[in-house]
Structure 1
Amino acid sequence: MPDYPIYAYKEMLDEEFPFKIEVRRPLTMNRHLHAHEHLQLCYMLSGSCLHWAAGQQYVLTKGDLFSIPPFQEHRLEERNAMDFVMIQVDFMPHAINESFRDMSQIQTFVDFAYIRPLISEADLMPKMTLPPSTQTVVENLLQVTLVEWEEKEEGYKLAIKAELLKLLVITCRQYQRYSQMQSPNERQIVAHHREAFYEAIAYMETHYQEELHLEGMAAKALMAASYFSHMLKLVRGKSFIELLSAIRIQASMELLRGTDLSVTEIALRVGYNHISHFNRTFKKHTGVTPGDYRKHQT
């Protein structure tokens, strides 16, 4: 277990609308090492401070946008007693829209917010400095969001969702331009980590009959186990156990429809060593037993 607290998003955010926006200054910054289950996007409005993340120190100045992905240890620190103002946005992706439980449609944002900050290469800074014109747009957007959050007038959640979606789109487009200025080696490192994650999913989809464990699949994905499970939830809408079960049950349904194999043989073929566990899982996913499912397919 880590020697710093990891906050579940339900401890810090409203479960119905998991979103929060705050202004951070030297007197209100979090100086203690911590991590959280939700995503955090931060924008430096003015001044400068130090940011410690994954054991490394980074200097933040006006116009910097950076991401704190789930489970990443981090803290802020003053820089030579300098003043600063930072806007901090905490949210779970499904706060925007339930469909954002599947983030695969905005791969560029996933690269910036979830993949890149994990990479410990010293030359890969986990931040992006926005050009002046984009800074103005982002600052106006964040100001509108702050007002909506503080005043909470009728419809404020819809208004915040709209502004948050704009922020994600701006981040996507800006990171796409930003990544084009990186060296081929830097782009290759990010691509390698992204590909490792999707290769781990592909392995689950083709080796589901094997005894698969979260730790082993996370290692293939070049991620810690808790982070890998969170990323699966993000891009596929399911945790490791949920996704593996769904893959196995889908395969068993195909075998029930297309073969004369017994239910016990099918259970073994899709990775279940205990027929009772297979029956319970199948009914949980489909609402019927494997036998009843087969009867209704003929």
Structure 2
Amino acid sequence: MSDYPIYVYKGLLDEQFPFKIEVRTPLNMNRFQHAHEHLQLCYMMSGSCLHWAAGRQYVLTKGDLFSIPPFQEHRLEPRDSMDFEMIQVDFMPHAINESFQDLAQMQTFVDFAYIRPLISEADLLPKMSFPPPTQTVVENLLNVILSEWEEQEEGYRLAIKAELLKLLVITGRQYKRYSQTQSQHERNRVAHHREAFYEAIGYMETHYNEDLHLEEVSAKALMAPSYFSNMLKLVRGKSYIELLSAIRIQASMELLGGTDLNVTEIATRVGYNHISHFNRTFKKHAGVTPGDYRRHQT
């Protein structure tokens, strides 16, 4: 167990629209070590403060954007009594698009916000500094989002989604430019973690008939179990259990339609030790029982 609180997004964000934007200053900063299930992006509008993340201290100044991925412990701290204003954006990926695809396809943003913070080398900061022209664009976007959030007029959710997507696109593009200045070693490290994640998904797709455990598969992804499951939500729209079940049920459908194996044999072949569990899961995914599904295939 961690010695700091981990906030579940449903306790902080609206379940129907898991998004929130706030202005942080020295008067309302969170000075206590904590983590959360959702993604947090913070942009420094003015001034400077200290940010502690994964046991390291970073200095933040105007124009810095930093990412707090799910389950990463962090806190803010004032810097020599300096004033600052920071905009904090909290959201779950499905606040943008229920299919998750819009965000998952932005590889450079995913590398910046989810992959790169995993790599704990001293020279890898969980932040990125925007050049002045981009700062102006980003600050205008954030002010529009703030206004929409505060006024909540008709259509405000759609307006926020549109502006937030623009912000993520700009972030991804800026990170792409920034990554071109990185050392080959750092680029290789980010790519290695990304590839390990997709290889873990591939492992699930080819070993679904085995007794797979989240801890085992997440280790192949070089991620903590909870973080791996959260990344699956981002990329595939399903948690670990949901994705594994979907893979197994898809395989069972192919066997039901293409073989004469009985339902019990099929359940065993796709990784279910109990026929009752298989039947319940199959009906949940397919809407019909395995027997009814087979009859409809003939």
Q: TM-score, normalised by structure 2?
A: 0.97
Secondary structure at 1:86 match in 2: strand
Q: Which moved further from structure 2: 151-160 or 95-104?
A: 95-104
- Equivalent residue for 1:9? 9
Equivalent-residue separation in structure 2 for 1:269 and 1:228 (angstroms)? 26
Give the CA deviation at 1:152: 2.1
Contact 2:100/2:236, CA 8 A, preserved across alignment: no
Equivalent-residue separation in structure 1 for 2:102 and 2:229 (angstroms)? 14
Contact 2:229/2:240, CA 8 A, preserved across alignment: yes
Give the CA deviation at 1:100: 2.4
Amino acid at match of 2:15: E
Q: Which moved further from structure 2: 132-141 or 260-269?
A: 260-269
Equivalent-residue separation in structure 1 for 2:293 and 2:143 (angstroms)? 55
Equivalent-residue separation in structure 2 for 1:192 and 1:140 (angstroms)? 35
Amino acid at match of 1:271: G
Runs ≥4 residues deviating over 3 A: none
Q: How does 1:221-260 map to 2 (within 5 A)?
A: 221-260=221-260
Number of equivalences: 298
Amino acid at match of 2:77: E
Contact 1:50/1:57, CA 8 A, preserved across alignment: yes
Secondary structure at 1:21 match in 2: strand
- Equivalent residue for 1:114? 114
Give the CA deviation at 1:101: 5.9
% identity of equivalent residues = 84
C-alpha distance after superposition, 1:14-58 (max 9, x if no partner): 112211111111111100001111111100111111111111111
Secondary structure at 1:173 match in 2: helix
Is 1:291 aligned with 2:281? no
Amino acid at match of 1:19: F
Q: How does 1:1-298 map to 2 (within 5 A)?
A: 1-100=1-100, 103-298=103-298
Secondary structure at 2:100 match in 1: helix
Amino acid at match of 1:35: A
Contact 1:102/1:234, CA 8 A, preserved across alignment: no
Q: CA RMSD in A?
A: 1.2
Structure 2 stretches lacking a partner, 5+ long = none
Give the CA deviation at 1:265: 1.4
Equivalent-residue separation in structure 2 for 1:125 and 1:206 (angstroms)? 36
Structure 1 stretches lacking a partner, 5+ long = none
Equivalent-residue separation in structure 2 for 1:80 and 1:268 (angstroms)? 63
Contact 2:44/2:62, CA 8 A, preserved across alignment: yes
